[in-house]
Amino acid sequence: MIQSLTDEAIQKNGASVGVLNTASSETNRYNYQFGFLDEYAKKEVRRTLLKAVAIPGYQVPYASREMPIARGFGTGGLQITLSLIGSNEILKVIDQGSDDSVNAVNIRKFVATTCPGVTLTRQTAEATLIQSRHRIPEKRLKFGQILVLQVPYPDPLVVVEPSEEKRKIMHGDGDYARLWVKLYEDMVKFKEITISHRYPTRINGFYVIDPSPIPRFDVPKLHQAEALCLFGAGREKKIYAVPPYTDAEPLSFSDIPFRVEDFTDEQGNRRTCQRCGSMTSFLNELIDSKGAKVYQCSDSNYCDSQLGDQK
Amino acid sequence: MGYIAIKGGETAIGQAQELLEFLRTHSFTANPLSLDQIQHQLHFLHSRVLSEGGLYHPELASLAIKQSMGDTLEAAFYLRAYRSTRPRLSETPLQGGKNMRLIRRISAAFKDIPGGQMLGPTSDYLQRLFRFELLDESPEQFRKIAKSWLQETPKEALPTTFPKVLESLRQEGLLPSVSECPNRPFDITREPIVFPVTRSAALATMARAETGSILAIAYSNMRGYGDIHPTVAELRVGYLPVQMPHLVTGELIEVGEILMTECEVVAMYDAEPNQNTPTFGLGYGACFGHNEVKAIAMAILDRALQKGMKHSPDHPSEDPEFVLLHIDGIESMGFASHYKLPHYVTFQSDLDRLRSTQNQSR
Ligand SMILES: [Zn+2]
């Protein structure tokens, strides 16, 4: 999949660079080429991706260009998306699960401007490339789809070791002892593991990754996923991957199982989406106009399609 | 839909941009700033943006200042983002600060330096009193000042280059001898920084650092979280020629020049275990544009980082990771801004953990 995507992208992008180079008039002196980034930058990202896929969970350093959106708004994910995208791509962009969140709208608009020909969609099933912040879609992704997650903190060890140089050695040694101690201390202090999101997850039995700020609810979706999951940290300049059909196991003790967010109410019933009635989705807690607490799917496309099915 | 207030953002984003544009353009005189006005009347703002943007493009730097309404972080950001669209086509040969066409050079180490001190345009000795006559200035006054300055300036030709102060110190054996730079300069825009980093990578990172950030960390060293105790051997501001090989003959030709600030500090000597004669330590700072405080801060931190790389760092300013990963304005500003983005999902997850932990403690 990556191979065919890259070939496609090189071809498409090459063509438009040719156009740019011949541009000479005063008005288009500063025009932007297809995919915004210069071709060498895209090539570097694609090489980094290949290495990341070859060593699941390993954080591959890359130079990371500045994007026209701010660091922290998804520049790592965007560089991956722009390096892979060809004009025949079908792209979906979500933030907090929603296609209409301001940041998703902004990124989608940017791609539409700089990548003419790309098809934009809200349908999870239809997309070939999905860029997301904080969620993995509810609908199970299929082989051939690529999920690009935006990453603020690529290294799960940062909670126990601030020095990058030392963390790199710890990863190399597979030394996650201090992370285990942190989980154990949580149990002693709070009788609960307090990590809410960005839950440390062991990939292919070796490297532990920060799966990006997805809720614990989404972590099991990485395990033996059919889709290729790519993680881009622009500010921290790292790329890593969970290739299709790879083990992804959240760190947990044999007597204390990993648990996802709990959506049962006081009566012990699973809360449902007040809009579509789903009893299985990740829910956002909202305060309605009367001041009452209500719950709705965080994945807007999932919620819409559930509603559509009922009609 | 609109069930989350911030959703349905397409129109909202559009209107927010229009409102910002209104904020930029509404004024009583309705005189748009020209790029020339920005480059010259806002000389230091322009210099700062050139240096933090890390792209020497005076025209686009002015446009960035105009577009960002004078926000230095944002303006530098425009240049950086634009830089991402440019391929690196070739490398220019190394240049020393000695080849600068100087507008200013001073030394705090010696009263008399070969070639002489040259104050140049500086605000160092200004009394910061308001000049209320500037409240109402006319273009005629601009022209009058220029005319009288140009008439009164003697036509004597200045030497094209001046010797470096460090050269005389080096001849006296007070400085370590220069070893040929063994490696190509590290290009932080094309290669990932992996710690431990080379001095070249550290210097490149500091050259485009955010002025306030690099100053704050250097200041911590000056105040006592460190012990560099620098002396400014030489500070120069001027135009450095840029050379490229001729496309046909391959001969080096000058293709332009860039305004730069360069600072060299000497610091109290550092005992080398395998070196018999102690020498002064050196710190180097240089950046695009006219940014003296930044160049001094950079030179001090270069010295501090060399110390931290050799021994283990005793202070934050001597720790390469601490310094180099926290002085970039585009990165720190971006990450601070990102907290304004919705965090509904992670906050939901936080709520789940807190409620569950509260239940455990009941
Ligand atoms: Zn729903």
Q: Which residues of A touch B350 (CB under 8 A)?
A: 196-197
Which single residue is written with the structure tokens 């591959």? A60
Q: Is residue A256 assigned to a domain?
A: no
Percentage of chain B surpassing pLDDT 70? 94
First to last CA, chain B: 40
pLDDT per position as a tens digit, B208-241: 999 999 999 999 999 999 988 899 999 999 999 9
Q: Is residue A157 assigned to a domain?
A: yes
Mark yes or no for CB contact A101/B6 under 8 Å: yes
Q: Is A287 helix (H, G, I), strand (E, B) or coil?
A: strand
B275 band by pLDDT with thresholds 50, 70 and 90 = low
Model pTM?
A: 0.87
- Is residue B177's pLDDT more than 70? yes
pLDDT score, position B3:
38
pLDDT score, position B180:
67
H or E element at residue A90: strand A90-95
Q: Is the peptide bond before B196 cis (omega within 30 degrees of 0)?
A: yes
pLDDT score, position B325:
97
Q: Is residue A34 assigned to a domain?
A: no
Q: Is B231 helix (H, G, I), strand (E, B) or coil?
A: strand
Domains: count for chain A: 3
pLDDT score, position B214:
98
Q: How far is CA B320 from the centre of its chain?
A: 17
H or E element at residue B137: none
pLDDT score, position A12:
42
8 Å CB contact between A222 and A229: yes
Residue A57 designated active-site? yes
Q: Identify whether residues A148 and A288 lie together within a single domain.
A: no
C-alpha span between A195 and A183 (Å, rounded): 8
Q: Identify whether residues A133 and A273 lie together within a single domain.
A: no
**Crossing angle (nearest 10°) for helices B329-338 and B72-83:** 110
Residue A115 designated active-site? no
Nearest one of A109, A54, A111 to A80, comparing CA atoms: A111
Bridge-based pairing state of the strands B231-245 and B252-267: antiparallel
Q: Is A299 helix (H, G, I), strand (E, B) or coil?
A: coil
Q: Identify whether residues A93 and A137 lie together within a single domain.
A: yes
Structural domain span for residue A174: 39-250
Question: Which of B71, B349, B357, B361 should we substitute to test contact with A (largest number of A Cβ atoms within 10 Å)?
Answer: B349
Q: How many helices (H) and strands (E) does chain A have?
A: 7, 12
Q: Is residue A255 assigned to a domain?
A: no
Q: Identify whether residues A23 and A60 lie together within a single domain.
A: no
A158 band by pLDDT with thresholds 50, 70 and 90 = very high
Q: Is B119 exposed, middle or buried (0-12, 13-18, 19+ CB in 10 A)?
A: exposed
Largest CA distance in chain B: 87
Q: Identify whether residues A20 and A72 lie together within a single domain.
A: no
Which single residue is written with the structure tokens 């559509």? A308
Sign of the torsion formed by the C-alpha atoms of A157, A160, A165 and A168:
negative
Query: Of these residues, A57, A77, A86, A234, which one is catalytic?
Result: A57
Q: Identify whether residues A12 and A140 lie together within a single domain.
A: no
Task: Taking residues B330-343, report their average pLDDT.
Answer: 94
Q: Identify whether residues A99 and A146 lie together within a single domain.
A: yes
What is the interface pTM, i.e. ipTM, of the complex? Answer: 0.84
Distance A295 CA to ligand 1 centre (A): 9
Q: Identify whether residues A201 and A152 lie together within a single domain.
A: yes
Is B15 touching A (CB cutoff 8 A)? no
- Structural domain boundaries of chain B? 10-83, 97-134+160-335
pLDDT per position as a tens digit, A48-105: 999 999 999 999 999 999 999 999 999 999 999 999 999 899 999 999 999 988 899 9
Mark yes or no for CB contact A66/B83 under 8 Å: yes
Identity of the residue numbered B88: R
Mark yes or no for CB contact A70/B9 under 8 Å: no
Q: Identify whether residues A172 and A268 lie together within a single domain.
A: no
Q: Is residue A7 assigned to a domain?
A: yes
Distance A298 CA to ligand 1 centre (A): 8
Q: Identify whether residues A17 and A68 lie together within a single domain.
A: no
**Of A75-79, B86-90, B322-326, minimum mean pLDDT range:** B86-90
- Give the C-alpha distances (Å, rounded to integers) separating A93 from A106, A147, B180: 9, 10, 51
8 Å CB contact between B230 and B238: no
Q: Which residues pair with A297 in a beta bridge?
A: A283
Bridge-based pairing state of the strands A129-133 and A90-95: parallel
Q: Is residue A90 assigned to a domain?
A: yes
Is B77 touching A (CB cutoff 8 A)? yes
Q: Is residue A33 assigned to a domain?
A: no
pLDDT per position as a tens digit, A255-269: 999 999 999 998 999
Q: Identify whether residues A203 and A304 lie together within a single domain.
A: no
Nearest one of A96, A87, A80 to A301, comparing CA atoms: A96
Tokens of B255: 């293709």
8 Å CB contact between B3 and A296: yes
H or E element at residue A288: none
A183 band by pLDDT with thresholds 50, 70 and 90 = very high
Q: Is residue A202 assigned to a domain?
A: yes
Q: Identify whether residues A173 and A310 lie together within a single domain.
A: no
Q: Which residues of A touch B13 (CB under 8 A)?
A: 102, 105-106, 109
Chain A contacts in chain B segment 279-338 (CB below 8 A): 321, 325, 330-331, 333-338
- Is residue B61's pLDDT more than 70? yes
C-alpha span between B34 and B31 (Å, rounded): 9
B12 band by pLDDT with thresholds 50, 70 and 90 = confident
